[in-house]
């Protein structure tokens, strides 16, 4: 048995990584790590109460409290909305609607990845779904028009991560539930950082194509205003759904859960209007939503149990005292945590990173004077970085399947956009009002 909480924390962390590398499901790994921590800790219990009784109490309490959340019901609804839209012609409609408007912008149709991913992110909530849905259409179409494949891949990988930052975001819902932060405020706080990051991608594309004209096709496409107006019919459905889903939250008319239910209804209406969602497709969407939601909820339950164990045996307090004793400035602490998240992003997916680190990290961050709202956006951007870092970058795997390219080529094409995201983290630290401005005005 281990009596020192700090040493126990190191052992528990090592145990968790051993279980993960052994191929155990993430949820099982979290539960097993929590049980292992309890068994290793030297408890002072009454003779009538065994350690297994205490484990059972913590397990039942944590699972019930983490799952008995009205806010969490938004998660499967937003997943279902994205699954329905994934099986409609929304991505091809977006491409057709955006081409006339972007053909004359510096950088031309490279911006389609950025704009289409931003729009689809606002009705999906998932980076993997955003990357896959948009990439399946834009990659082949842009290559057919003569655009450079590397810049197409890079812009798709970078913009695809916006699915986590631009609301509604699955990561924000999970963070809000685990940290007891308003999901509505997180959604609103993510707007300006999301638009800023998308703008930075577009500025880079403009600069890149201006310095390397060979990246653009020789043939210049020309569209009249009549063509642009006609293209609006393909953009209006998506923009309308975004306005209905997010507008209700921002105006205070609906909760995120109610907005998610409205979004599912809106997605079904769009699918009916587009006439391409079959009974088989709807069944697949429902089953996929159930599988994804169950997986995420199982991970959340495991994280909640581990969180209670970490607090019960004193690991969180010991780490807080240790870090405080190092005398790090608040932003040096954020820098250290940023490097930690970069490392974790190389071996874990985004959801796992959030649920595994938040129980330990959040109390330390709050003690350093940072708002949970600001830290939530910071974590989301760091999770975005994990989507394009090897070897476990989900967006990299998605693009590899779509583009049929080797991973080193994809990583090389993605690296400039990775640096842009790092720059976004620096901007977020330098200008925290980027997070607080809209929530202070709208709620």
DSSP assignment string, 306-319: HHHHHHHTTHHHHH
Q: Comparing C-alpha atoms, which of 309, 374, 379, 369 is closest to residue 344?
A: 379
By the 10 Å C-beta count (0-12 exposed, 13-18 middle, 19+ buried), 339 is classed as exposed
Q: How far apart are CA 152 and CA 403, in angstroms?
A: 10
Predicted local distance difference test score (pLDDT) of residue 275: 79
pLDDT exceeds 70 at position 79 = yes
Tens-digit pLDDT profile for residues 344-369: 776 666 777 787 778 778 888 888 88
pLDDT exceeds 90 at position 204 = yes
Cβ-Cβ contacts under 8 Å for 37 (sequence gap 6 or more): 8, 12, 15, 306, 309, 310, 313, 315
Tens-digit pLDDT profile for residues 140-175: 888 888 888 889 888 888 888 887 788 777 788 888
pLDDT exceeds 50 at position 44 = no
By the 10 Å C-beta count (0-12 exposed, 13-18 middle, 19+ buried), 213 is classed as exposed
* Percentage of the chain exceeding pLDDT 90: 9
Element (H, E) at 328: none
Q: In which band, very low, low, confident or very high, does the pLDDT at 47 lie, cut at 50, 70 and 90?
A: low
What's the pTM?
0.77
Tens-digit pLDDT profile for residues 369-387: 889 999 999 999 988 887 7
Q: Comparing C-alpha atoms, which of 219, 220, 216, 204 is closest to residue 104?
A: 220
Residue 2 phi, psi (nearest 5): -115, 125
User: Which conformational region is residue 147 in: left (phi greater than 0), alpha (psi within -120 to 50 degrees), or beta?
Assistant: beta
């Amino acid at each position: 048995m281990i009596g020192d909480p700090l040493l126990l924390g190191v052992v528990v962390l090592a145990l968790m990584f051993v279980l993960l590398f052994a191929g155990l499901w993430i949820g099982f790994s979290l539960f097993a790590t929590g049980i292992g921590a309890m068994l290793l800790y030297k408890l002072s219990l009454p003779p009538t109460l065994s350690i297994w009784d205490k484990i059972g109490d913590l397990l039942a309490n944590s699972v019930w409290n983490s799952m008995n959340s009205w806010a969490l019901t938004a998660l499967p609804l937003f997943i279902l909305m994205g699954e329905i839209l994934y099986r409609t012609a929304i991505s091809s409609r977006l491409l057709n609607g955006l081409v006339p408007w972007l053909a004359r912008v510096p950088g031309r149709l490279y911006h389609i990845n950025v704009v289409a991913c931003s729009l689809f992110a606002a009705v999906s909530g998932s980076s993997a779904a955003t990357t896959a849905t948009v990439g399946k259409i834009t990659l082949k179409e842009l290559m057919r028009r003569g655009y450079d494949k590397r810049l197409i891949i890079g812009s798709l990988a970078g913009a695809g991560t916006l699915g986590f930052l631009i609301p509604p975001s699955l990561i924000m819902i999970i963070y809000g539930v685990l940290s007891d932060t308003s999901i509505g405020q997180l959604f609103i706080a993510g707007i300006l950082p999301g638009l800023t990051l998308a703008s930075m991608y577009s500025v880079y594309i403009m600069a890149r194509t201006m310095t390397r004209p060979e990246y653009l096709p020789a043939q210049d496409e020309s569209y009249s205003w009549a063509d642009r107006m006609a293209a609006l019919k393909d953009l209006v459905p998506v923009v309308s759904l975004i306005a209905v889903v997010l507008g209700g939250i921002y105006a205070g008319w609906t909760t995120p859960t109610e907005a998610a239910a409205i979004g599912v209804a809106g997605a079904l209406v769009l699918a009916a209007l587009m006439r391409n969602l079959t009974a088989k497709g709807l069944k697949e969407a429902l089953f996929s939503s159930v599988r994804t939601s169950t997986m995420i909820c199982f991970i959340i339950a495991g994280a909640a149990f581990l969180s209670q164990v970490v607090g019960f045996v004193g690991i969180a307090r010991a780490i807080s005292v240790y870090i405080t004793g190092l005398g790090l400035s608040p932003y040096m602490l954020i820098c250290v945590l940023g490097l930690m998240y970069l490392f974790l992003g190389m071996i874990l997916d985004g959801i796992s990173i959030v649920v595994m680190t938040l129980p330990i990290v959040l109390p330390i961050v709050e003690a350093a004077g940072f708002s949970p709202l600001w830290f939530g956006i910071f974590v989301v951007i760091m999770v975005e970085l994990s989507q394009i870092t090897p070897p476990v970058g989900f967006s990299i795997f998605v693009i590899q399947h779509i583009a049929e390219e080797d991973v080193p080529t994809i990583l090389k094409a993605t690296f400039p956009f990775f640096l842009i995201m790092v720059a976004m983290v620096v901007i977020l630290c330098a200008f925290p009002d980027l997070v607080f401005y809209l929530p202070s005005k709208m709620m």
